[in-house]
């Protein structure tokens, strides 16, 4: 411490000059030392370089003194060393490459193990969910305490009807189904077998033969009917063709005595008559001489307990609920009948009302009644409305003794009458003045012609007239029946109807005519369906299409793991469950009780039974929690919720279900493989059905990606776009998603559309929206338009949900001319399906989300890329409208989007669909 203090004092006494001198000395000495040592280092390096050069020259000197032999030996030794080194290098390189391949293989094996682990984990999760659902279904079955019953076996009779004593003639007018029909031969599970007596062998006539056309037609039409049986011992009903001509021949011009043409002995001698004729149906089909009428074939004849089916009945003879009024056999045997129909629009035509007919004089007729009616009609015709009334035929109709008293004969030819009817808004039909008749063949012939031409029938005297199959058909929606006393109010009533009402009357009339009256086949089918409906026997099931498998039984295409698909881990769309089918044929008996009216008059048909219908009823809201919870998976156990709770269950008013995807493809395996890849991990997917439309089978060498659900390949018999809508037997669900092989859809879009479809099961629900626009330049009808619009009328089936029922309806309810047009132009099958659904439901489709178009980069050229494709779709709409009589498409401005999309919700909640 002392020395430090002294040093500080000394430093304080130093002068500034001494400091400067010291610094200068230091700056001079340091460079001198540095230069000295650097020079010494360079001399050292020089000496080393000289030594190296000297040794090199010595070596060269040694080489120069070596002889040639030694030099050659040295070179060979060096070459051997080089070859050895090269070999070692190659071995090292090979070893490196081998190790590298082993590393790649190990990496691939690790990736495969990871993928297998992920697949096993997903499958385990699927099995867990399925096990949970199975346990829940078991608990539901135990609580319900009612086992799942399979359809019972068919119960048929094994012997012919036993012979019983004939029924007394006084009891015949009182026959009803409960008293004169043997229900023991027609069990509910019998299938309603029908036996036809051969008309060539069993003809109960004395002096007349059945028309050959009618016999041939009846054989053909019943041959197409699934109820026909060749074994009379098993039959429920026996059909007898009695005839179709006049049943009586008048023997005197002064008295009312008739010669019987029907051979009663031959009738009761039929092999299975059984003494009283029970379960026999006697058919008298009026066809010939309708210009003069067709009478009652069974007047004065004892028919026992047999059911009579004909077009002419008196009030005393007709037995309600037992006998059946059938239309005349005026149409073709079968097939398309749209060419005979007039268009539905416009609502109002040239004539407000028309009538063509002549009433021949008849003895005993109330002469004043119809004469006053005619005079009142002639005075009613105002201006500017036009009445076309023709009460006398030109040439005049001769007197006919066989015409029902007071019945109005037809005037002119079929072509001339049709021309007038096509120009008539309404057509007048006058009931016979003879009040003993409840219906006649001539009256029904007028009804037939009116409905075919789109003229709305007005039946004066309709309060005492019965129409064909009126116990099941609602004629009030197609025909206006008025008492003759209302003739003075007729004009006011007709003028008071709106255009919408007129079009609805005309449309319903056409529906009834096409289904039940238009051909002999539809008439016979309707006759049998009426009897079967009385017995409440279920119709035969609709036959699905059994498609030929794309691969033989011994070959299955290889499955490969698809590449990774970008998914949104934050959005859960639903559980991955094992496939399960929708319940089928649960309403075989009850559908006729609850929906019998709709089956005959609205959206259904009574001829076949479908496994499900879009209109099957649902339970009430509380029933899902009290007593009827089987199959339901409510959101949040009934509390509801969003996000996770929403994705765990389908919820809604229907039990849980899945959907089937149908992909139509034409020899585009790469595109198809990409489509199957995009389906992996899709919730609620039951099965994928690939309809292979190409002429050659799928390639067995190609590898098919794993889609996560069963994949069935069906090879079509021919290349047709209609194959998209075949009701394949492989479809086990009500919901069917029709998808083009090049359509790109996200999983959330598909699941959302599926949920929307569950609430609109009777409509088409999908993505690409289109609309029909009126041709303002030429007024030629509607045109096809695919521009962006605020309304739409079609959803294309290249990406849309439809109900399985519409696949059958496409082949049964849609006219064959529409499908033929699709095959001819290879276009417009999607428009045809939209026409069909709109025609049946009278509702527009439902578009979901904002997606408009589908692009497939790298796909081959499609049909829609052709320039003529768009113009052909114009023609499709116009042709389909012509076939159906009107354009059934309806426009809508409605679109379905997720409820909570773009909605501000609490941070601890999750939206139902994050990106929709």
pLDDT at 151: 59
Low-confidence winner among 211-225, 264-278, 591-605, 827-841 (lowest mean pLDDT): 211-225
- Which of 25-34, 63-72, 231-240, 245-254: highest mean pLDDT? 231-240
pLDDT value, residue 324: 97
If DSSP codes are grouped into helix, strand and coil, which group holds residue 240? Answer: strand
Q: 67: helix, coil or strand? A: coil
Look up residue 739 and give its two tokens: 């998808």
For residues 119 and 544, give the distance between their C-alpha atoms in angstroms, rounded to a whole number: 34
Rounded to an integer, the average pLDDT of 419-436 is 92
Per domain, the residue ranges of the chain are: 1-44, 111-149, 172-250+259-325, 338-362+373-518, 548-618+654-769+790-807+844-869
pLDDT of 338 = 81
Q: How confident is the model at residue 3 (pLDDT cuts 50, 70, 90)?
A: very low
* Out of 115-124, 226-235, 396-405, 534-543, least confident range: 396-405
Question: What global pTM score does this model have?
Answer: 0.83
| CA distance linking residue 881 with residue 20, whole number of Å | 116
Instruction: Note the pLDDT tens digit of each residue in 671-715.
Output: 888 889 889 889 999 999 999 988 888 876 566 787 778 899 999
Point out the catalytic residue in the list 211, 370, 741, 830: 830
Residue 10's pLDDT band, with cuts at 50, 70 and 90, is very low
Angle, helix 867-884 to helix 829-841, in steps of 10 degrees: 30
* Residue 830 among the catalytic residues: yes
Residue 263 confidence class, pLDDT cut points 50, 70, 90: confident
Residue 115's pLDDT is 77
- Res. 73 pLDDT band, cuts 50 70 90: confident
Geometric angle at alpha carbon 346, from 341 and 352, rounded to 5°: 90
The answer on pLDDT for 145 being more than 70 is no
Distance (Å, whole) CA 212 – CA 879:
36
914: burial class by Cβ within 10 Å (0-12, 13-18, 19+)?
A: middle
The pLDDT of residue 903: 83
Task: Please check the confidence at residue 208 and state whether its pLDDT lies above 60.
Answer: no
Q: How far apart are CA 794 and CA 771, in angstroms?
A: 6
* Whole-angstrom distance, CA of residue 628 vs CA of residue 637: 14
Specify the residue for token string 């009278």: 842
Distance, in Å, from the CA atom of 575 to the CA atom of 572, rounded to the nearest integer, reads 8
Half-sphere exposure of 207 (CA within 13 A, CB side): 7
CATH architecture of 548-618+654-769+790-807+844-869: Alpha-Beta Complex (3.90)
Which range has the top average pLDDT, 579-583, 712-716, 752-756?
752-756
Please state the rounded mean pLDDT for residues 18-32. 58
Give the pLDDT confidence of 585-635 residue by residue, as tens digits: 988 889 999 999 999 999 888 999 999 999 999 999 999 898 888 888 899
Q: What proportion of the chain, given as a percentage, has pLDDT over 70?
A: 80
Highest mean pLDDT among 60-69, 125-134, 191-200: 191-200
User: Region 352-374: what's the mean pLDDT?
Assistant: 73
The topology under which CATH files domain 338-362+373-518 is: Rossmann fold (3.40.50)
pLDDT at 861 over 80: no
State pLDDT tens for residues 351-362.
999 999 887 665
**3-state per-residue secondary structure call for 246-308:** CCEEECCCCCCCEEECECHHHHHCCCCCCCCCCCEEEEECCCCCCCCCCCCCCCCCCCCCCEE
Identify the three-state secondary structure at position 842. coil
Q: Give the C-alpha separation, 572 to 79, whole Å.
A: 71
Residues 6+ apart with CB under 8 A from 291: 397, 409, 410
Q: What pLDDT score does 209 carry?
A: 62
How crowded is the C-beta side of 19, counted as CA atoms within 13 Å?
A: 7
| Max avg pLDDT among 119-128, 499-508, 638-647 | 499-508
Q: For residue 692, what are its two tokens?
A: 């292979």
Residue 256's pLDDT is 44
Beta strands 846-848; 895-896: pairing state? parallel
């Amino acid at each position: 411490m002392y020395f430090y203090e002294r040093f500080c004092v000394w430093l304080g006494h130093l002068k500034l000059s001494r400091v400067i001198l010291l610094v200068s000395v230091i700056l001079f000495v340091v460079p001198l030392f540095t230069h000295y040592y650097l020079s010494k280092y360079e001399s050292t390096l020089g000496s080393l370089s000289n030594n190296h050069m000297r040794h090199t020259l010595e070596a060269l000197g040694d080489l120069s003194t070596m002889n040639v032999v030694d030099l050659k030996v040295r070179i060979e030794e060096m070459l051997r060393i080089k070859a050895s080194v090269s070999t070692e290098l190659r071995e090292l390189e090979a070893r490196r490459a081998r190790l590298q391949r082993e590393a790649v293989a190990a990496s691939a094996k690790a990736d495969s193990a990871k993928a297998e682990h992920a697949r096993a984990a997903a499958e385990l999760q699927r099995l867990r969910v399925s096990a949970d659902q199975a346990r829940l279904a078991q608990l539901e079955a135990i609580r319900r305490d009612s086992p799942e019953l399979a359809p019972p076996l068919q119960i048929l009779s094994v012997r012919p009807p036993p012979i019983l004593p004939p029924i007394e003639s006084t009891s015949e007018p009182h026959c009803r189904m409960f008293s004169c029909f043997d229900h023991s031969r027609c069990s509910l599970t019998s299938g309603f077998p029908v036996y036809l007596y051969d008309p060539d062998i069993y003809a109960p006539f004395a002096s007349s033969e059945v028309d050959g056309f009618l016999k041939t037609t009846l054989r053909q039409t019943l041959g197409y009917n699934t109820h026909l049986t060749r074994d009379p011992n098993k039959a429920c009903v026996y059909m007898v063709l009695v005839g179709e001509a006049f049943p009586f021949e008048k023997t005197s011009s002064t008295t009312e005595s008739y010669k019987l043409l029907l051979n009663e002995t031959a009738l009761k001698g039929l092999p299975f008559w059984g003494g009283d004729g029970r379960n026999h149906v006697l058919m008298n089909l009026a066809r010939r001489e309708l210009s003069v009428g067709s009478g009652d074939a069974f007047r004065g004849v004892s028919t026992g307990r047999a059911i009579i089916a004909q077009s002419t009945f008196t009030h005393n003879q007709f037995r309600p609920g037992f006998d059946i009024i059938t239309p005349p056999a005026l149409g073709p045997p079968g097939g398309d009948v749209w060419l005979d129909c007039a268009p539905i629009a416009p609502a109002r035509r040239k004539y407000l009302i028309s009538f063509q007919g002549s009433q021949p004089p008849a003895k005993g007729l109330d002469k004043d009644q119809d004469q006053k009616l005619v005079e009142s009609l002639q005075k009613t015709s105002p201006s500017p409305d036009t009445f076309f009334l023709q009460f006398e035929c030109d040439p005049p109709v001769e007197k006919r003794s066989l015409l029902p008293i007071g019945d109005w004969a037809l005037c002119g030819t079929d072509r001339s009458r049709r021309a007038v009817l096509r120009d008539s808004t309404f057509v007048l039909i006058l009931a016979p003045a003879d009040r003993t008749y409840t219906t006649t063949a001539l009256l029904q012939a007028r009804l037939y012609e009116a409905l075919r031409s789109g003229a709305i029938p007005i039946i004066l005297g309709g309060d005492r007239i019965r129409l064909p199959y009126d116990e099941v058909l609602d004629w009030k929606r197609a025909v206006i029946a008025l008492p003759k006393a209302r003739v003075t109010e007729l004009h006011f009533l007709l003028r008071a109807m709106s255009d919408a009402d007129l079009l609805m009357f005309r449309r319903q009339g056409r529906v009834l005519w096409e289904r039940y009256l238009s051909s002999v086949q539809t008439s016979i089918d309707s006759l049998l369906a009426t009897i079967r409906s009385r017995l409440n026997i279920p119709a035969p099931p609709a036959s699905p299409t059994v498609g030929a498998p794309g691969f033989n039984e011994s070959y299955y295409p290889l499955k490969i793991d698809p590449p990774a698909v970008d998914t949104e881990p934050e959005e859960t769309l639903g559980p991955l469950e094992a496939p399960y089918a929708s319940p089928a044929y649960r309403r075989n008996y009850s559908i006729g009780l609850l929906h019998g009216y709709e089956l005959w008059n609205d959206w259904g048909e009574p001829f076949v039974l479908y496994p499900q219908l879009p209109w099957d009823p649902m339970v009430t809201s509380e029933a899902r929690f009290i007593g009827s919870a089987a199959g339901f998976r409510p959101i949040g156990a009934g509390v509801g919720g969003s996000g996770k709770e929403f994705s765990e269950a389908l919820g809604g008013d229907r039990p849980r279900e899945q959907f089937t995807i149908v992909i139509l493809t034409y020899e585009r395996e790469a595109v198809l493989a990409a489509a199957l890849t995009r389906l992996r991990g899709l919730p609620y997917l039951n099965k994928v059905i690939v309809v292979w439309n190409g002429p050659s089978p799928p390639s067995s060498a190609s590898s098919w990606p794993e889609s996560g659900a069963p994949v069935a390949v069906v090879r079509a018999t021919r290349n047709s776009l209609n194959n998209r809508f075949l009701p394949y037997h492989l479809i086990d669900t009500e919901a069917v998603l029709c998808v083009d092989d090049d359509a790109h859809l996200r999983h959330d879009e598909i699941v959302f559309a599926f949920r929307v479809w569950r609430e609109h099961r009777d409509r088409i629900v999908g993505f690409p929206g289109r609309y029909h626009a009126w041709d303002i330049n030429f007024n030629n009808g509607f045109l096809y338009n695919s521009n962006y619009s605020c309304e739409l009328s079609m959803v294309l089936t290249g990406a849309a949900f439809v109900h399985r029922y519409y696949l059958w309806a496409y082949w049964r309810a849609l006219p064959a001319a529409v499908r033929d047009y699709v095959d001819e132009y290879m276009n417009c099958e999607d428009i045809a399906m939209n026409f069909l659904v709109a025609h049946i439901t009278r509702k527009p489709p439902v578009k979901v989300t904002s997606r408009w178009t589908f692009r497939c980069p790298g796909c081959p050229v499609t049909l829609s890329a052709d320039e003529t494709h768009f113009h052909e779709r114009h023609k499709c709409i116009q042709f389909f409208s012509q076939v159906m009589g009107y354009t059934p498409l309806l426009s809508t401005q409605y679109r379905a989007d997720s409820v909570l999309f773009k909605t501000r919700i609490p941070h601890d909640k999750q939206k139902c669909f994050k990106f929709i």
